[in-house]
Structures are given as C-alpha cells and as structure tokens.
Amino acid sequence: MSISKSVKQIEVRDSVVEELIIVNYPATGNTTYYTRETTKERRRVKLGTSKDLTLKQARKKAAETLSADFRPCSLTLAQAFEAYAKSGEYSGKRSTGRERKRFEKVVEPILGSKRIKAIGLTDVQAVMADLNSSLSNATRNRYLAMLRSIFRFSVDQGYCDKDPTRSLKLLREVPVKLYEVNDEFIGRLRLAVDWLDDANPRTACLVELLLLTGMRIGEALTLQWDDVNLPTRHITLRFTKSGKVRHVPISDECVKLLSRLVEGTVESPPNGWLFPSSRGYSHMSRPVRTWKRACHAVGLPLSLRFHDLRHIFASACVKEGIPLYTVQGLLGHSSIRMSERYCALAAADLLKASCRVSSVLGLNKRGEK
C-alpha cells in the first residue's frame, strides 16, 4: 500500500519574467517571491510574499532588482536602511521616525557609506562605543535593537550574508523608579505647579497637562490647537512613540487648563502650537532647568523627570481603582503588561481592600459563637 506524502512547497519559474522564482506553500496557501543576483555567487534575493505583493508587483520588483543599477552586494548601510525603513516590517513597535533620527545622528556618520557586506563586529562595536556616555543602558539597547533589525532585514533581502550584531548582548536595564503617590507627594507637586505659575506660567501649564493626561513630554510639546477638540472632549496625538495616532480624553480640569492656555496665547500664533517657542516658529524645548529649580524649591527629588509625571498619572489611576485595561487605553500602551507595573504602588490599598472583604465574610468569627 503506497502512502502519499504531502508536498511542503512547490517552486516554479514565472512564465513572464523568467528570473522570478515563485515558491508556493500548499499547506498555508502562501507564496514567496525570489530572484537571483546577477553576480558570481547567484544568491537568492527575497522580494516579498503574497501578503504584501501581487504577482504583477512581484514581476515588476524582480525586473527592478535585476536592472543594471541594482547590485545588492554593493549596497551601503545607508541604502540598506532606506529599504529597511520603507518595508516597515522589522522595527516591531518602535517608531520608524525615531529610528531614523538615531541612525542619522549616530550610525550614518560612522558606517553610512560603508558597504554592508564589509561591516563586521568591530564596526558595530565602534558605533556602540561612540554613544554618549550619559545614555542609560535602556537607550543603548534601543540602538543595538535597531542595528539588529537592519541587519536581519538585510540578510533576508540578500544584501549581506550574516548579522554582525548577533554576538552582542543587550545590557542589563535598571528598572524605572516609580514614586509612591501619597498625599504629601501630590501636595508638593501642586506647590511645584504654583511655583512655576509665578516663574513661567506656560511651563506650569505644561506640567499640569502632563499630570492630568499622562502624555509623554514629546507628545505634549508637539501639540497644536487643531489637535484640540473641545466639543468632543479629546486631544489628538499625531506624534507618538509607536507612530500611531491616538486620542486622549479631556477632563473637566483639563478644560480649565486649556482655557488658561488660550488666554495666555498671543493672537494668531505662528504655527498654532500649544507651547510655542519664544525664539522662533517652532514649539518650546523641554524646560528641564526650570523644572529642576521648581523641584528644588518645593522639596521634590531632583531626579524627578517629566516622564515620571506619566508614571504618577498611571499610579494615581490604579490607586483610584481604575481597571488596568482602562489605564492601558489612557496611556496608549500596546500591552497591558506595561500597565501592570503600577499595581505594586497600590499594595497598601490592596491590603485595605483584602481586610474589608475578610471582615465582611467574617470567617474568623466562627469560634465566637
């Protein structure tokens, strides 16, 4: 009795563009398109899959790949990065815009013009060593993660044979310090806002907006008045960490804050920024020094960053019993695991809740009868 074996893949040449290799996978119904380099090695170059390319598009891409101007083996790292950025498939949750800034600032001056096939481990180590010594391990890991993604993409596309970053390990990241949100701490935050209101009213409004909404500092500074919709009570964030547009609800306190901002805004602001710069036609830069002076004046830790105000907002939400899924939506977290870390700060409230439930159940009164 003969047993028929299932075919895992079927490889054929395209009848129109002979250099196009089509690999079909019957089990999944997916198709992958390849071509081969015109160089001596004749290595395969992956063009894409049926999820992102039609057969017609694959034929066109194969023709472009085989044109005289295209030589994968001679691509520079800068050219490979452009192709990587356009693909949008390898950066995961990281913002492509943020990665471009990192690449252009640090990587491109050192390796941008070098052929990607000639880049080795020592080259990558040179880039990592050139990073500012003040950067945290977490930020350094973001640079390494970006380089890994670029080289993984390049290997898949046939631009290079191996990933020189594979032997490098991520640095151990120090957990972010979360401040306990108690009445005393909140009181000092209010004093800091009052101090700023006298020294720099617009910075006071910025700090208050961060506390009331949980926005990131970069999201707040790039806001324009067109992003504020009072009738529907929401603010549209167009420049987010994930690169995706999201909406932040406007509370009653936030409405009062925005009203004060309107009163303090000059007529017809140049670009309609909520927080315009006093020196040009852009938004204001991060007022770090002013914020540090305010912290010093009211007794807050000098290590308190603008991003910590986002953590404080989240911690206050959890302490007030707001469900984690709601906190996730307010903060724009892609995963609820990002929001779960704030639960530890509500330990005292959880203990009180547990004691209240135990008291209601009254199981410890069995022996009192």
Would you name the residues annotated as active-site residues?
216, 241, 307, 310, 333, 342
CA max distance for the chain? 94
Ramachandran category for residue 234: left, alpha or beta (phi over 0 → left; psi -120 to 50 → alpha)? beta
Amino acid in the structure at residue 206: L
Angle (CA) 143 145 151, round 5°: 105
Contact 344, 178 (CB under 8 A): yes
Alpha carbon 151 to its chain's center:
20
**Both tokens of residue 244?**
């995706």
**Alpha helix segments (H runs only) across the chain:** 55-65, 77-87, 96-102, 108-111, 121-129, 137-157, 183-199, 201-213, 217-221, 252-263, 288-298, 306-319, 324-331, 337-340, 347-361
Q: Is 105 helix (H, G, I), strand (E, B) or coil?
A: helix
The strand pair at 228-229 and 10-13 is best described as: unpaired
φ/ψ of residue 227, rounded to 5: -85, -10
What is the C-alpha to C-alpha distance for residues 124 and 121, in angstroms, rounded to an integer?
A: 5
Closest C-alpha among 86, 38, 31, 36 to residue 54: 31
Contact 258, 197 (CB under 8 A): no
The 8-class DSSP code of residue 174 comes to: P
